[in-house]
Amino acid sequence: LEPTQLRVIATEGSAAASVRGLSATAPTLATVAAVLASAGVSLAGRRNRAAASTAATLSQVVACRAFENELGVQSPVGFYDPVGFTADGDVAAFRRRRSVELKHGRISMLACMGYMTPEITGKFPGYLSPSLDLKFSDIPNGLAAFSKMPALGWAQIAAYMGFVELSGGFDDYRTGTPGDYGWKALTSSDPAERTKKLQAELANGR
């Protein structure tokens, strides 16, 4: 072969080797690019989750600070809302729940008194239901009374509950102070003493 032909062959071989080298490198570059892209997506996802977690934490802190000075925030637990009802910081919803809490607490305290008082002072004399020859003394205390109470007695209890609900209204938390129906049994001219009594009512109701 002539020198010129040898140089052409050498050049063609070098070019072919370069092409083979690029072909071998191409998958490696594609793999690196895919790994980098995946890492970028993962990092972005972590940033988004961290931002969402931070926003949720800040929301809970704001809600806590919004209600931490309300009645019922007492030691040792302080502001206690494990379910997260106040996480949205909705003042109207908080006032409605406070009204419901007070109502249920008062009913519970009356129920406790109704359970204990007959044991201490005795029961009314006479008949609860003359037609059934049922005396007040025949009604046992506690859950056993359910089996002794006549149907008309349950109807009277339900009617009275409905009267109390309707006459008391449902807008106390919208138009005034939750639980304030105008009959102030727990009050005082001293603000500190009044707060103490209202705190005690919530604690006893709970």
Say whether pLDDT at 45 is over 80: no
Asked if 118 and 141 touch (Cβ cutoff 8 Å), the reply is yes
Q: Which two tokens stand for residue 113?
A: 């008194």
Residue range 130-148, pLDDT digits in tens:
888 999 889 888 888 888 8
Residue range 121-130, pLDDT digits in tens:
888 899 988 8
Q: Which two tokens stand for residue 42?
A: 């993962």
Residue range 49-94, pLDDT digits in tens:
655 555 455 455 555 566 777 888 887 778 878 888 888 888 888 8
Residue that has been written with the tokens 């709970």 in this structure: 206
- The reported pLDDT for the residue numbered 9 is 43
Residue that has been written with the tokens 């406790």 in this structure: 112
Q: Which backbone phi and psi does 76 adopt, to 5 degrees?
A: -90, -10
- What pTM did the predictor assign? 0.59
Among 81, 82, 70, smallest CA distance to 178 is for 70
